[in-house]
Structure 1
């Protein structure tokens, strides 16, 4: 019967995780005399307690939970799936509007780009063309969007496709969030779908790598999702991964360990992760830079850490960069002596010509102990270029 069918369908609905970051779309906002600003909505994930600090997006305004009501009853805590009213302290009603999202600070970001799976209704009389403007509904938010068809020239009635939604106003979305689109004019419902990536890059059409990446996201496999996000950066901390995936910490730890055991990822001493491919690629680049440096300067012990970082990984933390070098040193790929990076076991071996020039410089300074020549005089005395003199002097200084 209908009741049994509904019960069966309810059992198949996945439960909302209470250990995920807190997030709630705002569907109503009003003021209550003596209490101040009140918002209502349904908790999509996580939990919240009285006194917690929260962030209102997309404005990124901060507030504090003064009181929580669940189904009209005052509670100290609310959890995912519950319908709640929150009395906020530290913010006026004018700074919140329907469709905003209240969330755990620092975990969610607003965007004007969304990657999604879009399904068009079968009864429509015409297809959806590329970059067609539509009204886009997500939670309690309504914005105007242009739909970029990533894998088709046009989307026919009843068909499904991967798309990128380009919005006229920022929204907050996460993997799996449902949305509806309505035609721009007249406003009739024409389709809907679910979000695959709430923080994508701007795509071009018919890119196989983009389409394949979105299909991986669509599978919903946490390990594949983590690996895909690792591929976007050379080095990622667990915090970076959680910020991008919104997965709970225990899932990230477990699935990261699986990737490490499968030799798809490497954990550095800093706790950050790299894909094996990124590690191999950066290792090759370090070696290439050192080789190029030695070809130009045979008397140099190596490159400074600062120069290597500026060439290879300018945007990562010094802690992660030092951990990366430490990993290469453990694998006997390089040696790090104070601030100098060299090939593992590398020792300077001057040529016969260089040895003679070095001895001439040393003898010159010894013979003029009380009136040593200035550095700028040496190129003319030795009949060499200034850069060569710099190399000789640096070598002698390193040797003491």
Structure 2
């Protein structure tokens, strides 16, 4: 791994920025107010090359409790943390809170750095070290190495550098195969270049000219330029502190907490399912819809917490819940988060996202809990099946994005072999969903056939309307699938049960013969549907049946046999061959009708692209 991100944490004025400056030669306090007040307010960034050649990207975070939201924005995405504790003060309130925060962020490696050792005698220093060891006993930090330094004299810095080499020698590498994603922690404008955003590239490889999207706004952007540790590069890799110069977006359209990623590679959501834990020191009890602040990536959002595994949660509780946000965020499964109260402001918990696009749960606590446990701990195969069940017509890329890990098509092939899912036109649907859809279609068709025994089927648009499903295009895809399996029949734009055939009674057959005879006898002096049926319901039904089988209707509800229509076209074609043009009077006379009905037929020919107008006449359309 070429670059590892190391972050600082600790109480205000415990020497975080001074340590970074002594180590790297770079002052990460860049704001005038930071210089004036002597405290870090915003995030600071710099780099350091270890003797073994490995590059460290260093994130220096503020320690003051008023700026913990800035600390959280920078802490997400770091691989290792330096917990800074001043020897002259020991563990302080923000030390404890920063430790709580770090425990929720999934950081792999830790090192405790005892600073300002030249300000205390040996005996006091040993008491502070004993206090630290006692405090971290039984926590995620138990056994963490403590390095003693003084940033003024640089005493102990050789030991610090050696421990940093050891600390970062076995960091789990980030994925270069996933699509690139970066949580934005700073936004600014550079004259002549435009909008620049910075953050830690969480996953993937980013290149100049790449097409990306700023989420949750959905703004399409392009990478104009890339920098890693203030050097222009053609490519940035997961784990590197990266500055991206974006085109097609103004600086005021982007803010800290947004995410820049490949199109459709993250989930924009205002509802997430989570596994949580609560700090052991809180005195709060939280029930349904408890209002708090959620920190995920570099985002800070007001949210409401809904415990599902508990009626109320209190100090030390662990379990499952759902978080509802006031505004949308862009996240993936497995992202870590921190929870803080709104007033007074304090860290009370955190956890991991197990469903970034959670559904609204029905009031069935046992089923809700079972679903959450499955999302959290089931095998990939089971989670994939559950996801497809809840998200019909999912693509492979959407499934991979939901799992937030590399998956193989073989995992989906197994589910196909088990007949749990189906792959139809490059989309996956669950067998239960298809079965449910099939039964809905068959019920609608059965009811329609019962009421319309002489109609071949229901118009497809009417069927889709009755289904009242959101996936209209995919519904048509499933209709084709059901037709291929002989569950339904598709006849042009009509849908019927596969085993259905319209059938006339003996009386209706006689009525059909009489109507057909009248239509043919009238020749090209057409009769209307009303003239033929005299508004008698039984006759109307028979005529509707005939219009599905060998008869057609012209504007004005005039009826003719399809064979008559065919012969009229043949007459028109013959006249054109003889004269090189088709004139209305000639056509009228050739079929023995009035100008009105001849024109009606010619206009129908035009609509079908059989003929086309040329002045007052027509010619055959050779561009069919």
Do both proteins adopt the same fold according to a TM-score greater than 0.5, normalized to the shorter chain? yes
Q: What's 2:244 paired with?
A: 86
- Structure 1, residues 166-186: CA drift from partner, whole Å, max 9, x if none? 223332221111111122221
- Contact 1:176 1:194 (C-alpha < 8 Å) held by counterparts: yes
Pairing partner for 1:273 from 428, 434, 444: 428
Contact between 1:226 and 1:252, CA under 8 Å: does it hold in 2?
no
Relative to structure 1, the CA distance from residue 163 to residue 305 in structure 2 (aligned partners, 3 Å threshold; closer, same or farther) is: same
Match of 2:416 among 260, 276, 279: 260
CA 65–369 in structure 1, closer or farther in 2 if over 3 Å, else same: closer
Query: In the alignment, which residue of structure 1 is the partner of 2:515?
Result: 361
78-87 or 154-163, larger mean C-alpha shift: 78-87
Per-residue deviation, 1:119: 0.7
User: Are the equivalent residues in 1 in contact too, given 2:421–2:431 (CA < 8 A)?
Assistant: yes
Q: Measure how far apart 1:56 and its partner are.
A: 1.8
The whole-number CA distance in structure 1 between the counterparts of 2:385 and 2:267 is: 21
User: What is the CA-CA distance between 1:221 and the residue it aligns to?
Assistant: 3.5
Whole-angstrom distance in 2 between the partners of 1:47 and 1:163: 33
The correspondence for 2:286, drawn from 110, 114, 128, is 128
Q: How far 1:126 sits from its partner (Å)? A: 3.3
Secondary structure at 1:329's aligned position in 2? Answer: helix
Higher mean C-alpha displacement, 196-205 vs 130-139: 196-205
Match of 2:441 in 1: 286
State the TM-score, normalizing by the size of structure 2: 0.57
Q: Tell me if structure 2 keeps the 8 A contact 1:238–1:252.
A: no
Bigger-Rg structure (1/2):
2
Does residue 166 of structure 1 match 2:324?
A: yes
Contact 2:309–2:319 (CA<8 Å) still a contact in 1? Answer: yes
CA contact (8 A) 2:460 2:493 kept: yes
* Alpha-carbon contact 2:265-2:398 (below 8 Å) kept: no
Residue in structure 1 matched with residue 307 of structure 2 by the alignment: 149
Unaligned runs of 5+ in 1: none
Q: Check whether the contact 1:98–1:141 (CA below 8 A) recurs between aligned residues.
A: yes
Name the SS of the counterpart of 1:286 in structure 2: helix
Tell me the SS of whatever aligns to 2:387.
helix
CA change 1:388–1:123 in 2 (3 A) is same
Contact 2:454 2:541 (C-alpha < 8 Å) held by counterparts = no
Deviation at 1:247, TM superposition (A): 5.1
Residue 228 of structure 2 corresponds to residue 70 of structure 1: yes
- Which 10-residue stretch deviates more, 176-185 or 34-43? 34-43
The 4+ residue runs of structure 1 with deviation greater than 6 A are 5-13
Q: Quick check: 29-38 or 187-196, which moved more?
A: 29-38
Note the 1:208-357 alignment, pairs <5 A. 208-219=366-377, 221-242=379-400, 244-245=402-403, 248=406, 251=407, 253-268=409-424, 270-312=425-467, 315-316=470-471, 318=473, 320-344=474-498, 346-357=500-511
The whole-number CA distance in structure 2 between the counterparts of 1:113 and 1:362 is 63
Structure 2 distance, partners of 1:87, 1:392, is 67
The corresponding residue for 2:298 is 140
Give 3-state SS (helix, strand or coil) of 1:102's partner: strand
Contact 1:69 1:75 in 2 (8 A): yes
Q: CA deviation at 1:225?
A: 2.9
Q: Do the aligned residues in 2 keep the contact of 1:149 with 1:205 (CA within 8 Å)?
A: no
Deviation string, structure 1 residues 40-75 (Cα, Å, up to 9, x no partner): 211122221012122222233333222222344432
The answer to which structure, 1 or 2, has the higher relative contact order (CA under 8 A, 6+ apart) is 1
Confirm or deny: 8 A CA contact 1:150 1:204 kept in the other structure: no
> In the alignment, which of 28, 31, 35 is matched to residue 189 of structure 2?
31
CA shift in 2, pair 1:303/1:205, >3 Å: closer
| Greater alpha carbon shift after TM alignment, 218-227 vs 21-30 | 218-227
CA distance in 2, matches of 1:337, 1:204: 40
Closer/same/farther in 2, CA of residues 220 and 95 from structure 1, 3 Å limit: farther
1:304-357 deviations in Å (ceiling 9; x for gaps): 333333333754364x44542333233222332333333336443322222122
Contact 1:115-1:197 within 8 A present in 2 as well:
yes
Distance 1:242 1:375, change over 3 A: farther
Cα 1:67–1:374, aligned 2, differ >3 Å: closer, same or farther?
closer
Please say if residues 23 and 101 of structure 1, whose CA atoms lie closer than 8 Å, have aligned partners that are also in contact. Answer: yes
Task: Determine if contact 1:55/1:104 at 8 Å carries over to the other structure.
Answer: yes
From 252, 258, 263, the counterpart of 1:105: 263
Q: Please tell me whether the aligned partners of residues 269 and 357 of structure 2 are also in contact (alpha carbons under 8 angstroms).
A: yes
Query: Relative to structure 1, is the Cα distance of residues 105 and 271 closer, same or farther in structure 2, using a 3 angstrom cutoff?
Result: closer
Say which of 377, 391, 397 aligns to 2:544: 391
Conserved? CA contact 1:334–1:341, under 8 Å: yes
Answer yes or no: is the 8 Å Cα contact 1:120–1:156 preserved in 2. yes
Structure 1 residues 165-222: Cα deviation after superposition (integer angstroms, max 9, x where no partner): 1223332221111111122221111111111222223335554433322222212633
Displacement after TM superposition at 1:388 (Å): 2.1
Instruction: Measure, in 2, the Cα distance between the counterparts of 1:373 and 1:238.
Output: 57
The residue matched to 2:202 in structure 1 has which SS? coil
Moved more, 204-213 or 281-290: 204-213
Question: TM-score w.r.t. structure 1 length?
Answer: 0.85
